[in-house]
Structure 1
Amino acid sequence: MLNEWKQPEIEHLVPTKWNWIVSYPENLKLGRHVDIGCFTYIQAQAGIIIEDDVQIGSHCSIYSVSTINEMKGRVVLKKGCRIGSHVIIMPGVVIGEGAVVGARAYIDKDVPAHSKLIP
């Protein structure tokens, strides 16, 4: 099935066929074989890089800009990392290669490669 993977069509604030939404899609760099769960919101104004083989659960929010506290910074999800459902990732965060973030986590600091962060 992953051999049949195709780059999704992404438009500004238009749900993909899997019901996830991206604002500023021109600033999103999406790797191959990325699995993004439904109802996920990606705010890519300051840039978001999602590398190959990343899995993101449903109902996640990934922010490169936060208007509440004026944080701003590129977010990077490194190769093979896995993000559980209902996770919030704040601006400037790097999730390391192969790292696992458990469901309902609030991430405002980098997560080291091959580590597990379970709230």
Structure 2
Amino acid sequence: MPHPDPDNPFPLPGFAQVCFLKNLITRPNIEVGAFTYYDDPDGVQNFENNVLYHFPFIGDRLRIGKFCAIARGVKFIMNGASHQMDGISTYPFFIFGNGWEDARPAEGELPYKGDTVIGNDVWIGFDALIMPGVTIGDGAIIAARSVVTGDVPAYAIVGGNPARVVRARFDAVHAGRLVTLAWWDRPLAWITRHLDLIRGGDVDALERAARN
């Protein structure tokens, strides 16, 4: 059964502002799933420039699932942006050396919030900002220009600064069933055959199709 090629960086012929993002990633500490796309009329090559303060020696990863939609201007702040906050000054004296290198924070003194994890089938709107260590659940929607400072439940819509839940797309029970069903992990032929159910709102029908 035919389907778009996830290994084609530019799936829309003659339209280079949309890309299947995994094909353009060069950093080993960024992972992107199949069919996740990025839309940027200024150049999709800008994506990695929007993953900020992502220094290899810190070790944190940006992990993005499958079938996500990421709009122009979305930025990810990583743990390298953190400054020590338990002293009088937050200034990073040590990075300038020349006698100040001994002021380097000891291991564990700089805040570290871990990996940033974006689930599957997540829509992140224009100019949203994702802060370090955030986990965004499967099926969530991040409104344009939101500042996401904390974890987002699966199938929630969040917006604002700081982002708050506006409403749930499905109640907790149905959201949990959809996460368990994980349609995005099924064979592409199955996904293609059941696009109407995936686009629809009938969780029971999609579960029946998965069982069959």
| Shift in Å, 1:106 | 0.4
- 1:21 corresponds to: none
Contact 1:49 1:75 in 2 (8 A): yes
* Partner Cα separation in structure 2 for residue 87 and residue 29 of structure 1: 19
Are the structure 2 counterparts of residues 4 and 112 from structure 1 closer, same or farther at C-alpha, using a change threshold of 3 Å? Answer: same
Which residue identity lines up with residue 31 of structure 2 in the other structure?
Answer: K
Are the structure 2 counterparts of residues 97 and 68 from structure 1 closer, same or farther at C-alpha, using a change threshold of 3 Å? Answer: same
What SS class does the counterpart of residue 23 from structure 2 fall into? coil
**Within 5 Å, which residues of 2 pair with 1:1-119?**
3-6=4-7, 7-11=22-26, 25-38=27-40, 39-40=46-47, 41-43=50-52, 44-45=54-55, 46-69=60-83, 71-72=111-112, 73-119=114-160
What SS class does the counterpart of residue 91 from structure 1 fall into? coil
Aligned residues: 106
* Partner Cα separation in structure 2 for residue 4 and residue 78 of structure 1: 21
Are the structure 2 counterparts of residues 97 and 27 from structure 1 closer, same or farther at C-alpha, using a change threshold of 3 Å? Answer: same
Any idea what the Cα deviations from partners look like across 1:49-106, whole Å, max 9, x if unmatched?
A: 1011011110011122242545432101001011001000011100110000100000
Contact 1:94 1:110 in 2 (8 A): yes
* Partner Cα separation in structure 2 for residue 71 and residue 47 of structure 1: 15
* Partner Cα separation in structure 2 for residue 81 and residue 33 of structure 1: 12
* Partner Cα separation in structure 1 for residue 71 and residue 111 of structure 2: 24
CA RMSD, Structure 1 to Structure 2 (Å): 2.1
Which structure carries more helix by proportion? 2
Normalising by structure 2, we get a TM-score of 0.46
* Partner Cα separation in structure 2 for residue 9 and residue 99 of structure 1: 24
Contact 1:2 1:33 in 2 (8 A): no
Normalising by structure 1, we get a TM-score of 0.78
Q: Which has the higher contact order (CA 8 A, sep 6+)?
A: 1
What SS class does the counterpart of residue 117 from structure 2 fall into? strand
* Partner Cα separation in structure 1 for residue 73 and residue 23 of structure 2: 18
* Partner Cα separation in structure 2 for residue 28 and residue 90 of structure 1: 15
- Greater radius of gyration (CA): 2
